[in-house]
A and B are shown apart, each in its own frame.
Chain A
């Protein structure tokens, strides 16, 4: 008798000939998430099993697996030989501390097992009820818990009561590579999470403007990338200074267009970096109308500098409160609201342009040496592995 973790996946089942590829990818990601622990990952039909781990690590394993994209749910089960007495005794032990309503659900894949599944469920249910009549009662529809008996063809049986819902989605790596524009705010880590959930491998780009923003602001972004990496796997974080660009815009251009123009620079830098590191898309945390730089006119103006890479905006139709709810779920919210801003108030216009016009912005840009500023920004690029 030993404890194992059953891993179920979701959308992979819908795949046709590619199914094996996605299953292998998920298996690799599971192994990577648990890489510093002792365990064995075994493929069984439509499932993975984690075995041979130290019981001390069980909570950690469960916690990490909940963050692996592509896993639908997991259960901690007890693996026993398929012998009726042992199965019954193990199931009874599992119910020892339980309170409420239950049912027994049996799946008999091994047709050599002498008792039919309906009979086994009934018989075991009766045994449990008579032993724990004080705390338990039977309920077939929506019980508080279900005693699952999975009699496998391999000659052993998995017994478990709880199903832990996981992240869902697709295995990271199966959906290409994206470059996430990661600020210190609430939205961009959520945008990254959403794309990772759809299987996209993330690289990240942060813009800082020391001395106008602090090193703490940069450290905060590294922390956010670390939190995101629990879901998205290892992330390469690039940090580019836009100090000179901000100063140049501040000095030479109309104040109200500061943010619009800065965002155009950011997009240009992002596309150039994406091309050089093999990212196939840019990911932003923009949400329509959230701030002046995210009106459709502002998005159009900043998007206009993009030459030929898709810009994915998974939060475009999300309300702020919905974004916050996800940020709280993935534990980035508390870090995001630390008071180290990623744009110094020095550069925030009193009245930012809400509906910037492309022709006007392009004309203002003629006051700057755009190429030179971007080249300079690339000379001091920093790279972190998180």
Chain B
């Protein structure tokens, strides 16, 4: 079955051109170990540095980056480098890569504080700020919530946090924001995690962007690659592919506008059928809706039968329960159990989203019988 894929917040289909270019590079003497001393391997090293600069160009001066295996490793590297003393603060809406790492630190005796969410999944800023004190060493706030698409204004939040305690190290998980939201990071954001497979590259590559004056604490030891911050032979192919995928999707503003058109058309089609969970201040790439009273997992299965793959914010099984993030949005249970996440990619078309909206209507009609 040919599925229409609308779960791009989970992962994206590899961009064909970026993949082809990376394979070509690999076949053209791109397989050498970049750390080897003979001349041909230097070309590989040069190519990695080219991608490094290409990524850094998307950030203000003063930042450097470490290539990692993905967003999770980047988050872990950031947190384990700096969240060591006093108290550390994050939000209840973080991706598990941050949330569970904080939980891990809690077990080692560090005081961990979680800020509440607003109903759209964005952080309740006032509550977050109330948790910051002179002993706070580290704060992490997700840039775009991966389930609801809510945008946190991390530049402003970082500034307000630092006005309470200037020594705080501020990290943001930017996995759902990178190359999707057109924003210039402010210098108050010290660390920023990104991932390649959310923008049309392959899984297995990501990066931690960090302020140059910071010293990360390596979590992997060995050959001293990546300025000694991340040992292990570089994932050369993944990095090449990452670079090419960025090239292919470089027009952030135009892509953003396109996504907005898709989102508007999609929601327009579903007026009166669903309740919107995302607020106006959200990424146009992620639309969170609830089919109030119809469990999302059931709808997800029926939509797959109709040829549309979408995400859920909750799971039907009482053992799995509703997703942590959606539960933390304090929605009515009938709303939170019905949360579907539709997320667009750079190649999603208007026909696909309209088709999906119609399929949702059809399936909702089919499930009318169980709606309470």
Contacts and interface: CB of A to CB of B under 8 A. Distances in A.
Interface of A: 210-212, 214-215, 247, 250-251, 339-341, 344-347
B319 interface: yes
A257 B320 CA distance: 26
A341 B370 contact: no
Contacts of B1: none
A6 to B, nearest CB: 45
A210 B369 contact: no
B316 A251 contact: no
Interface string B251-279: 00000000000000000000000000000
Contacts of B301: 210-211, 214-215
Contacts of A339: 315, 317, 319-320
B302 A211 contact: yes
Nearest to A255: B372
A376 to B, nearest CB: 15
A247 B369 CA distance: 7
Contacts of B320: 339
B105 interface: no
A187 B96 CA distance: 34
Contacts of A247: 369-370
Given A214-B297, A339-B315, A344-B295, 13 more contacts: A212-B298, A214-B301, A247-B369, A250-B369, A340-B317, A341-B319, A344-B298, A344-B316, A345-B295, A345-B316, A346-B295, A346-B370, A347-B370
Interface residues of B, number: 14
B322 to A, nearest CB: 11
Interface string B91-109: 0000000000000000000
Contacts of A212: 298, 316, 370
B298 A211 contact: yes
A341 B320 CA distance: 10
Interface in B311-348: 315-320
A344 B318 CA distance: 9
Contacts of A345: 295, 316-318
A212 B297 CA distance: 8
Given A250-B370, A251-B369, A346-B370, A341 B298 contact: no
Contacts of B297: 214
Interface string B288-321: 0000000101100110010000000001111110
Nearest to B305: A211
A211 B299 CA distance: 8
B361 to A, nearest CB: 16
A247 B319 CA distance: 23
A339 B315 CA distance: 10
29 contacts: A211-B298, A211-B301, A211-B305, A212-B298, A212-B316, A212-B370, A214-B297, A215-B301, A247-B369, A247-B370, A250-B370, A251-B369, A339-B315, A339-B317, A339-B319, A339-B320, A341-B316, A341-B317, A341-B319, A344-B295, A344-B298, A344-B316, A345-B295, A345-B317, A345-B318, A346-B298, A346-B316, A346-B370, A347-B370
Contacts of B302: 211
A341 B297 CA distance: 12
Given A211-B298, A211-B305, A341 B369 contact: no
Contacts of B318: 341, 345
Contacts of B317: 339-341, 345
A100 B178 CA distance: 67
User: Which 6 pairs between the two chains have the least Cβ-Cβ distance?
Assistant: A339-B319, A211-B301, A339-B317, A211-B298, A211-B302, A247-B369
A337 to B, nearest CB: 8
Nearest to A340: B317
Contacts of A340: 317
Contacts of B369: 247, 250-251
B233 to A, nearest CB: 36
A210 B316 CA distance: 13
A341 B302 CA distance: 17
Contacts of A210: 301
Contacts of A214: 297, 301
Nearest to B295: A346
A37 to B, nearest CB: 39
B22 to A, nearest CB: 34
A250 B369 CA distance: 8
Contacts of B315: 339
A340 B317 CA distance: 7
Interface in B147-195: none
Nearest to A211: B301
Contacts of B298: 211-212, 344, 346
